[in-house]
Amino acid sequence: MARDDFTATFAPEDDGVQLHGKAGARKRFERMIVPFTMPLLIGPGAISTVIIYASEAKAYGLAGTLIGLSVFVAVSISTMLAFWASPLISKLLGKIGLTVIVRILGLILCAMAVQFILAGIADSTHGLISKSASAPYQSKN
């Protein structure tokens, strides 16, 4: 994401030959599958978040359950709308806009990965990396 031309993977060509019909649609669909999306949507982090918030909603009874379900439905609908609007968004942004956004998101992903590695090393080595360096933005509660 940070170095490659990501938008070239959505081109309807295969080895210089234009693909039409089912073959072209299948090839474009195969290229659009992003392995990072599924763990973010239905992976362990999402499941853990739902479980934690559901357990916290128990204290509010039926009202908490209904609010939690309505939030779940609202997030699901907004995700579905974002996926449906992706062709329009990509058309509005164009190739250059998509490339810029993908590269920025790639840099953010790299920064998060380094942060996770630093936090893991700091927690497992006890003193090799200070807590303030591994988690600089934690609240002082």
pLDDT tens, 44-57? Answer: 777 888 888 888 88
Q: What whole-number percentage of the chain has pLDDT above 90?
A: 13
pLDDT at position 63 is: 92
Contact by Cβ (8 Å): 1, 93: no
pLDDT at position 88 is: 92
Q: Does the structure show a pLDDT above 80 at 78?
A: yes
Own/partner pairs, 100-108, CB within 8 angstroms, 24+ separation = 102/1, 102/6, 102/7, 103/1, 103/2, 103/6, 105/1, 106/1, 106/2, 106/3, 107/2
Tokens of 27: 């090839």
Q: Does the structure show a pLDDT above 90 at 70?
A: yes
Distance CA 122, CA 117 (A): 9
Across the range 64-81, mean pLDDT stands at 92
